[in-house]
Amino acid sequence: MSRQPDIAATRLGAAKPSASMAAKARADAMRAAGRHIIDFTIGEPDFPTPAHIVEAGANALKHGHTRYTASAGTVELRAAIARKLKRDNQLHYKTNEIVVGCGAKQVIFNAFMATLNQGDEVIVPAPYWVSYPEMVLINGGTPRIVNCDARDGFKLRAAALEHAITPRTKWLVLNSPNNPTGAVYSATELRALGDVLDRHPHVHIMADEIYEHFVYGGAKHVCLLNANPALRSRTLLVNGLSKSHAMTGWRIGYGAGPAGLVQAIVLLITQSTTCAGAAAQAAAAAALDGPTQSVTDAARMFESRRNRLIERLSGIEGVHCETPDGAFYVFASVAGLLGRQAPTGKWLQSDTEVAEYLCEEGGVVAIDGTSYGLSPFLRFSFATSMSEIDRGCDAIEAAVSRLKPR
């Protein structure tokens, strides 16, 4: 059955709305109905944009930055992005190799729209950020999902990549640090994938590194192109300020890649959104050129919350999780809860049902692994306060203790 209304184009096919946005909407609706909710769905920092960035945006407005900008993004912002790529990643990009989008999401969507022909395949390692496969489908491509086992740290291995590549493969999507698992690829792991890609020059790589600044416990973010410089001519680096600078609502992301691909993405922007907001672009330039302390502070804060969430979840019988190296999510196995019976008499058969049970019984909202392409898991975001983490885990513990064993 099609989930789309009759008026929808066939292009939409069976594409689903974003599961994370849907979970957030559910939590918001329950809250609005007066229910106390502990929300572990949050995919954004829970603190405001640093003051110096807000000020730069406000100043831009006061100084008349209230008009359309170049569709690729202002020269000032693209120059700031080029400086960032040089400073943080030792990569050299010219401004015509950089495009600014309304969030990284628009860059990714437009890259697929600009390049996919009907039936072209996109390799998406699972668990994946919910939007990749849907964006591929909407743009006429075929997602080729490759399961990455928990035993492999949820990472794509070279042999699995080799096996998944076909003559129709247009893109490989590689997201490190990863949403939803927090997996961070090492230089060695990236080089092993690079060796495979060397043998298949028709495959392009979308390297989504939007969580690059959030790595913990000695883990190091390695940019795909630092491990594999030869892939530069067929890689689109995707990044943005939503997570690093708590700027989700400003909607600024960017891509850096070969000029021809960037030009094709810009063409779509000229015919769709025209450009990202002028003041938001000025704020983003100030963020990239400004002090980095707020980013470092955020990373340390997330690290202590990660440690607390792991400690608490690990103490709940039936829940199992490894410590993630990056991003702000824990992808916990709930295999140990399947087959148990809720006080209502319902037997829990899937992670989706476990998520529903925790929501109804404990007022705790987390997102089922099924939505991310791997079951039976739940994704918990630790972009929330320590006290919410504690209260949420108390509620989960209590709800789990009310389950009858198999």
Residues near ligand PLP, by CB under 6 A:
43, 103-105, 129, 175, 179, 208, 210, 240, 242, 248, 253
Smallest gap from residue 252 Cβ to ligand PLP (A):
7
Smallest gap from residue 147 Cβ to ligand PLP (A):
18
Smallest gap from residue 108 Cβ to ligand PLP (A):
7
Closer residue to ligand PLP (CB): 59 or 248: 248
Residues 6+ apart with CB under 8 A from 6: none
DSSP result, 47-58:
SPPPHHHHHHHH
Closer residue to ligand PLP (CB): 129 or 357: 129
Smallest gap from residue 97 Cβ to ligand PLP (A):
19
Amino acid at 105: K
Closer residue to ligand PLP (CB): 93 or 109: 109
Closer residue to ligand PLP (CB): 253 or 362: 253
> Beta-strand (E) ranges in 66-219?
98-101, 121-126, 142-147, 169-175, 204-208
Smallest gap from residue 19 Cβ to ligand PLP (A):
11
Residues 6+ apart with CB under 8 A from 218: none
Smallest gap from residue 134 Cβ to ligand PLP (A):
13
Record the tokens describing residue 369, joined without a space.
Answer: 């692994």
> Beta-strand (E) ranges in 209-325?
235-240, 253-256
What are the CB-based long-range contacts (under 8 Å, 24+) for 358-361? 358/395, 358/396, 358/399, 359/26, 359/30, 361/399, 361/402
Residue pair 46/383 in contact by the 8 Å Cβ criterion: yes
- Residue sitting closest to ligand PLP (CB): 103
| Cα-Cα end-to-end distance for the chain | 34
Smallest gap from residue 263 Cβ to ligand PLP (A):
21
Cis omega (within 30 of 0) for bond into 376:
yes
Closer residue to ligand PLP (CB): 43 or 376: 43
253-256 and 98-101 beta bridge pairing: antiparallel
Cis omega (within 30 of 0) for bond into 125:
no
Closer residue to ligand PLP (CB): 93 or 372: 372
Smallest gap from residue 145 Cβ to ligand PLP (A):
16
Closer residue to ligand PLP (CB): 179 or 375: 179
Closer residue to ligand PLP (CB): 77 or 342: 77
